[in-house]
Amino acid sequence: MANLKEVKNRIQSVKSTQQITSAMKMVAAAKLKRAQDRITQLRPYSQKLTGILQNVSSTLGGEIENVYGEKREVEKVLLVVVSSDRGLCGAFNNNVFKATANVIKEKYSYEQKHDGVFILPIGKKSFDFFSKRKYQVIGDYCNMFQELSFDVAREAAEYVMKSFKDGKYDKVEIVYNEFKNVATQVVRTEEFLPIESVAPVKTDATNKSRDYIFEPSAEYVVSELIPKSLKIQFYKAVLESNASEHGARMTAMGQATDNAGELLKALKLTYNRTRQAAITKEILEIVGGAEALADN
């Protein structure tokens, strides 16, 4: 059985750890509120923009000349992997890495053997993970979360779009955590480029395609909407991951705080038992000494 000093030191250590995890939980909760507000405000805009693009595209019969929708034989693939900058968020990062590994194994094993798979990491954890494992890591956007804004995400999206347009990559997919609630994050793998062609959209009332008057032209409007929609889609994935990170960290730190509380109870019980055993031992020694003196 451990002595009193060792148990006492462990109790103090666990208390200090509990204070740290509790503070980190509160910080994560504050950051989560801001991140959650940002993603909930962006979602309706993103969905509406996509809907407008589909409706406008449908008026042209889905035959819009679009460089971002060009289907090519897949030889080079770019995977945009969104992680966090810091740890202590449970399985948040590992889930993304496992999903990325599964995507490569199931869909792009041939391209991987021929050095055709490239990783664009967003978040330091993603950069460190894939760099250490000798993947072909490109881009310089791993520090995006230090000053997360649409301008920063737009630069990364424009780099990806230009690379696809220039033929450097034949396909682009994004792997990230989608925010559901504080305790639930779902790993998503979305095809970013090439964009899927949209089918004509019918109205509920007349069952006919909507008719628009375009100024200056339908082609010009679509050519402006498509890049903007792609940038918004890219930014939305980053915001989803950001909110998911804070939710995962809040949950992990809450569980760590609770576990520290349970450990403290066990340690205090051990401390009391050890203390009582020491007191009992001292009493027995005193009684034994008194009996020895009485016998003399």
- Residues 201-222: pLDDT tens digits? 454 544 455 566 767 776 777 7
In this model, does residue 99 exceed pLDDT 60?
yes
d(CA 81, CA 93): 10
Q: How confident is the model at residue 9 (pLDDT cuts 50, 70, 90)?
A: very high
Sequence-distant (6+) residues with CB within 8 A of 11 are 264, 267, 268, 271
d(CA 275, CA 277): 5
Residue 191 β-bridge partners = 173
**Residues with catalytic function:** 89
Tell me how far CA of residue 289 lies from CA of 275, 278, 282, 292, 294, in angstroms. Answer: 21, 16, 10, 5, 9
The pLDDT tens digits for 254-291 are: 999 999 999 999 999 999 998 898 889 889 888 888 88
The pLDDT tens digits for 14-43 are: 999 999 999 999 999 999 999 999 999 999
The pLDDT tens digits for 105-132 are: 999 999 999 999 999 999 999 999 999 9
- pLDDT for 288 equals 85
pTM summary value: 0.85
Interaxial angle between packed helices 92-107 and 218-295, expressed in degrees from 0 to 180 and rounded to the nearest 10? 130
Q: How confident is the model at residue 294 (pLDDT cuts 50, 70, 90)?
A: confident
- pLDDT for 209 equals 53
Q: How confident is the model at residue 1 (pLDDT cuts 50, 70, 90)?
A: low
Q: What is the mean pLDDT of the chain?
A: 88
Q: How confident is the model at residue 189 (pLDDT cuts 50, 70, 90)?
A: very high
Q: Where does the chain have alpha helices with state H?
A: 4-59, 92-107, 109-113, 124-132, 150-165, 218-295
Instruction: Please answer whether residues 116 and 75 qualify as being in contact, where contact means their C-beta atoms are separated by less than 8 angstroms.
Output: yes
Phi/psi-derived region of residue 19, left when phi > 0, alpha when psi is between -120 and 50, beta in every other case = alpha
In this model, does residue 137 exceed pLDDT 90?
yes
Cα end-to-end distance, the chain, whole Å: 35
- pLDDT for 52 equals 72
- pLDDT for 212 equals 66
Instruction: Please answer whether residues 200 and 107 qualify as being in contact, where contact means their C-beta atoms are separated by less than 8 angstroms.
Output: no
d(CA 84, CA 123): 5
d(CA 215, CA 221): 8
Cis preceding linkage at 44, omega within 30:
no
Q: What is the sign of the dihedral through the CA atoms of 270, 273, 276 and 281?
A: negative
- pLDDT for 47 equals 84
- pLDDT for 170 equals 95
Name the strand (E) or helix (H) holding 139.
Answer: none
- pLDDT for 4 equals 85
Residue 242 β-bridge partners = none
Q: What are the structure tokens assigned to 129, written together?
A: 């993970």
CA atoms within 13 A on the CB side of 52: 16
- pLDDT for 62 equals 55
Phi/psi at 208 (nearest 5 deg)? -125, 160
The pLDDT tens digits for 47-90 are: 888 777 766 666 655 555 678 888 889 999 999 999 999 999 99
d(CA 36, CA 28): 12
